[in-house]
Amino acid sequence: MDSNSSSRLLCKSLPVRDDPNVAFAEPWEAKAFAIVVKLADAGRFTWQEWVECFSKEVAAATAVEAAGGVPKTYYEQWLDAAERMMTEKGLTSKEQIAARRFALGVTGVAHVLK
């Protein structure tokens, strides 16, 4: 990956979390984050498109919170936005995501064949 272009992307819209010492609470969060940056970098979607897509998730979560509900965590929002973005761009499909989740739900992530 071209480090210049990705760092430019990162600067543009790197999420700021409450605790600056904890960037990622779990490995999957880092993975989800990296996948989005990498795909944007590869030109699968523009960063602007991503920001718009992600904003909708954030807005939805904020609304849930405002209504007194328990909103999705930051990276759950990120992941759901990423799935939507990739589906919209034809990189994967809802069916494929659902189908892949089948094995994941059976064995857990450590035992899914890649």
Partner 1 sequence: MTTLAPVAASRKVPVTILTGFLGAGKTTLLNRILRERHGERIAVIENEFGEQGIDNDLIIDSGAEQIVEMNNGCICCTVRGDLVRILGELRQRRESKPEAFDRVIIETTGLADPGPVAQTFFIDEDISAYYAIDAILTVVDAKHASEQLDAFHEAQEQVGFADRILLSKTDLVSSDELTDLRARLVRINARAPMKPVHFGETPIADIINVGGFSLDSILEIEPGFLDEEDHHEHNDDVKSFAFTSSRPLDAARLQAFFRDTIAEHARDLMRYKGVVEFAGFDHSVVFQGVHMMMASDAGRIWSEGEVRESRLVFIGRNLPKDALLARLERCVAS
Per residue, the 3-state secondary structure of 36-68, as one string, reads HHHHHHCCCCCHHHHHHHHHHHHHHHHHHHHCC
Nearest to 15 by CA among 69, 43, 55, 66: 55
Q: Integer distance in angstroms from the first to the last C-alpha of the chain?
A: 22
Selected from 27, 67, 68, 102, the binder of partner 1 by CB under 8 A is 102
Report in angstroms how near the CB of residue 114 gets to partner 1 at its nearest: 6
Pairwise CA distance, residues 48 & 45, whole Å: 8
**Least gap, CB of 110 to partner 1 (angstroms):** 9
Q: Is 27 in the site for partner 1 (CB under 8 A)?
A: no
With CB under 8 A as the contact rule, which of the stretches 19-27, 46-54, 56-64, 94-102 interacts with partner 1? 94-102
What radius of gyration do the chain's Cα atoms show?
15
Q: What is the dihedral of CA 17, 35, 61, 84, to 10 degrees?
A: 170
Q: Does 99 bind partner 1 (CB under 8 A)?
A: yes
Q: Of residues 67, 70, 95, 109, which one binds partner 1 by CB under 8 A?
A: 95
Taking the complex as a whole, the smallest distance from the CB of residue 86 to partner 1 amounts, in Å, to 9
**Least spacing, CB of residue 19 vs partner 1, in Å:** 29
Name the site residues for partner 1 (rule: CB under 8 A): 90-93, 95-96, 98-107, 111-114
